[in-house]
Amino acid sequence: MNADALNTTATKIRDHIAAACESDAIPGFVAGIHQGGEQVVVAHGLANVATGAPMLEHTGFLLGSVTKVLTTTLVLQQVDRGVLDLDAPVVKYLPEFGSVSGKILVRHLIGHTNGIDADLYFPGDKGRDALKAYVEGMPSSTLFEPGEQLSYSNGGMIVAGRLLEVVTGLPYPELLARDVYGPVGMTDSSTSAEQAILRSTAVGHFLDLETMAPRPTTMFTLPETWGPAGGTPIGTIADLLAFGRTHLAGGVSPSGTRVLSAGSTALMRQVSFDMESPNTPPIGLGWVLYPFGGTTVLAMSGASPGGVSLLCVIPEHDLVFAAYGNSPGAIMLQDRILQLILTEHLGIELPRLVTGDEQDADLAPYAGTYRSNQLRIEVSVVDGQLEEVITYEPADPSQERIFTEFAGGTTSAPPQRYVPVGPGLFAPAGYPLEAFDGYLRLLLVSYHDVRDGQARFRNGGGRLARRA
């Protein structure tokens, strides 16, 4: 790898970050690339607007759902050791899980094909038994039969975390530190606010609608029950790059430590389910497999209260990209930077994902009410478009408090119009179609499994809701 080429790309990224932080009210941003033995990290802005602490190259941040790839790595370590069987029912190891579904296999948990309807289930339990309490109290309803569909699943990863605790005898945070942080060389990673406060750490921000300025979040982490899904782990760009390099190298860390077998590392990259819809990339185990033309990007993004992280591994080009911004809008900047890396740095031509609209589409099959955990989505046909109204229906005051803090105080949104752009596929009105060529394809909405003139499922952001 030519170091000059990487430094040139880093300069372009730095300019993009500076401009976006100014125009999009992102307090701070940090990003890094590793390719061919060369590594650059750039940082800009503030880690916390209340204190004025700068965002530094080594500033820590919440990994969010990027943790799911770490949890998957932990599960496959136990498969490598013969402790877990991917094709065994979860109840073989967790008998109490049978109240949800005895048909869910271990691979369904880490492949997002489990159907568990608990995506917004936020119990506030703490301590060693937090995950045990989560599994004991989680909703028993499912969205679909295991393996039938694909729906991004926080609940599945949390159950996988509890499964790991049972078979190893260690609490999830201790297991993560021992079997991933340590051997990978994630030297600045931790799993608690108490540890993070001892070093430079960013906090999330939300836009204050009165002052139109960023304000720090009132919630640093999600509850400890959400640890395996990304609620509590904290790390740095260098840590994420080291983890990505481990997967580039077939499971061998930068220091030469074998973290995962080559077979299991490869298995995580293999397609385990494909919805065959532009807004939902194929899934491996842990990794989402984004197709960009003929190039596959292994990716996972992670929302935290007022922040968003991203980890991308591009095996074909021996490249790892990681980024974090402490505002929910940072995902837009991350998407632009990823496309810059793909097109200008790697010379990849990105085909148009959505090519046009469906002028004569029959919208009647998609109208109706769809539900998932604590969400109701009303879909109606208005002026040749679909209009969606999403309502949050908290199960209890505790759930409402946690979700409200996680969302920055805003739990409702105005009706959103969608225009048809393909069979069963819709784009938010007013967006140019090229906006969906990159990571933001997740903004598209699709409908699936039409029976007797009605779609059974709505898919938004990779999450399914079932027709009521």
* DSSP calls for 271-301: -SB---BTTB--B-SS-EEEEETTEEEEEEE
Tell me how far apart the alpha carbons of residues 272 and 258 are, in angstroms, rounded to a whole number: 24
| DSSP structure string for 331-391 | HHHHHHHHHHIIIIIS-PPPPPS-----TT---GGG-EEEEETTEEEEEEEETTEEEEEEE
**3-state class (DSSP) for residue 154:** helix
Whether residue 219 is predicted with pLDDT greater than 90 in this model: the reply is yes
Nearest partner of 148 among 443, 464, 368, judged by Cα: 464
Q: Could you tell me how many residues make up the chain?
A: 468
Burial letters 243-257, b for 16+ CB under 10 A, else e = bbbbbbbbbbbbeee
Q: What is the pLDDT of residue 102?
A: 82
State which fold the 1-351 domain adopts: Beta-lactamase (3.40.710)
Q: What is the pLDDT of residue 196?
A: 93
Q: What confidence tens digit (pLDDT) does each residue in 349-403 have?
A: 999 888 876 666 899 999 999 999 999 999 999 998 999 999 999 999 999 999 9
Q: What confidence tens digit (pLDDT) does each residue in 178-189 have?
A: 999 999 999 999
Whether residue 115 is predicted with pLDDT greater than 70 in this model: the reply is yes
Q: What is the pLDDT of residue 187?
A: 96
Q: What is the pLDDT of residue 290?
A: 95
Q: What is the pLDDT of residue 444?
A: 96
Q: Which of 100-114, 144-158, 200-214, 350-364 has the lowest mean pLDDT?
A: 350-364
Q: What single DSSP character describes residue 81? A: T
Q: What confidence tens digit (pLDDT) does each residue in 263-296 have?
A: 999 999 999 999 999 999 999 999 999 999 899 9
User: pTM of the prediction?
Assistant: 0.96
Tell me how far apart the alpha carbons of residues 304 and 63 are, in angstroms, rounded to a whole number: 8
Residue 413 tokens read as 């949104």
Question: What average pLDDT does this structure show over 80-86?
Answer: 98
Percent of the chain scoring above 70 in pLDDT: 99
Tell me how far apart the alpha carbons of residues 379 and 284 are, in angstroms, rounded to a whole number: 31
Extents of the domains making up the chain? 1-351, 364-467
Over the chain, what is the mean pLDDT? Answer: 94
Whether residue 1 is predicted with pLDDT greater than 60 in this model: the reply is no
Q: What confidence tens digit (pLDDT) does each residue in 4-57 have?
A: 889 999 999 999 999 988 887 899 999 999 999 999 999 999 999 999 999 999
